[in-house]
Every structure is written in structure tokens, then in C-alpha cells.
Amino acid sequence: MAPRVFFYTSNPGKVHEVELVLGDLGYDVVWRKAELIEPQMDSLEKVAAFKLMGVPEPDSPAMVEDSGLFIPSLGGFPGVYSAYVLRTVGLDGVLRLVRGKDRAAEFRAVVGFRDDRGVQLFTGAVRGRIAPSPRGKNGFGYDPIFIPTGYRRTTAEMASEEKNRLSHRGIAVRKLAQWLAREGTRPPRRARTTSVRNVA
């Protein structure tokens, strides 16, 4: 039987992208459609580690992912507030904020993984710029306004496989997969959540 990973997220777009990467590598991603308590903290790492603490222990190995869009000319905003900003002012609000400013941007992701060895964190980032206006129908969230460096298309104009090859999430999930391949996947049993390790 394929090793299982329980993925806690409310976002089906994340599940789809993670399934493509881990599924290809032989893992069975089980979606736990949960809104875990998400504290307002100043780094994605802290949010991911905190969220993992709220995962029921029998679901091991368990995974969460926290991500955000960081715009240096706005002091890193929306960053850790990306989900809230999207829900409130939306893409148009962000486009208004960057008008007349430098449009460089970076997507960052932190994947948190917990099993009986404790908590591991894996990071990924992709640089790009904010598009003049939304374009494309694929993906989710900020994809219609994010153009990765070296491309003319937004990530909403890419198929998920292409986005995964360059994206913050694709990079972080592949680091998790490499760690699993190196360290081995353990059979699910009661997890200890005593140690938090930043792997990359």
C-alpha cells in the first residue's frame, strides 16, 4: 500500500498541486478539509509549526502548508496576511496598492510535516512580478496576477504541472519528498510533537 500523508488544508488548489508532486512519487495524499487554528504570526514557519500542533495525533504522517505573496515595495505585504487580503480587498486591491511602485514580488511556502520523529519544515520560494491586470483561469488565489521571472505568462495561464515545476509549493514539497526518500516513511503510529526542525 502506498504510504499515506494526511494533508490539512481548506484550499483544494493546494491539494491538487501537492497530489501531483507526491502522487507521482508514490505517496497517497489524503485531504483533511480542515480549518486549523491559524494564529496571526510574523513568519510562515511559525504559522505552519503552530498549525501542525493542532492536528489530531492519530493522523500521522500529517502535513500542512502555509504560503504568501511578498511584495518588497509594500514592505513585504500582504505576506503572512495574504489569505485575509485576498478575501477582503482582493486582486484589484493589491493591483491598486502596487500602482506606481516597483512590481517585484515573491511567493513563499513552508511545508510542515509531522510524524513520530517530530516536526520538519521545508521552504520554497519563487520570484516574479505583479502583472498589470489579472490573466488566466488556472490555479487559485493570486495566480492571475503573478508572473514568474523569465516568463511572460501568469501562473494562472500555466497548467498545474508547469506551475509545480517552478512554484514555491512545488519546491517545498519536493524537498519534503527528498527527505522522505532519505529518511524513510514510517508506518503511522502515535506522533510525538516535541521537536521542531528547520530542514531547509
Q: Which is nearer to ligand ITT, 3 or 54 (CB)?
A: 54
Q: Which is nearer to ligand ITT, 81 or 179 (CB)?
A: 81
Report, in Å, the least distance between residue 144 CB and ligand ITT: 8
Report, in Å, the least distance between residue 1 CB and ligand ITT: 26
SS (H, E, C) the chain: CCCEEEEEECCHHHHHHHHHHHHHCCCEEEEEECCCCCCCCCCHHHHHHHHHHCCCCCCCCEEEEEEEEECHHHCCCEHHHHHHHHHHCHHHHHHHHHCCCCCEEEEEEEEEEEECCEEEEEEEEEEEEECCCCCCCCCCCCHHHEEECCCCCCHHHCCHHHHHHHCHHHHHHHHHHHHHHHHCCCCCCCCCCCCEEECC
Taking CB atoms, the residue at the shortest distance from ligand ITT is 141
Catalytic residue among 24, 42, 66, 115: 66
Quickly tell me which residue has 484589484 as its cell.
Answer: 92
Report, in Å, the least distance between residue 83 CB and ligand ITT: 3
Judged by the rule CB under 6 A, the positions of this chain that interact with ligand ITT are 9-11, 14, 38, 65-69, 82-83, 86, 107, 139-143, 155, 167, 169
Q: Which is nearer to ligand ITT, 50 or 142 (CB)?
A: 142
Q: How many CA atoms lie within 13 A of 167 on its CB side?
A: 29
102 is catalytic: no
Q: Which is nearer to ligand ITT, 169 or 175 (CB)?
A: 169
Report, in Å, the least distance between residue 132 CB and ligand ITT: 17
Which positions are catalytic?
A: 66
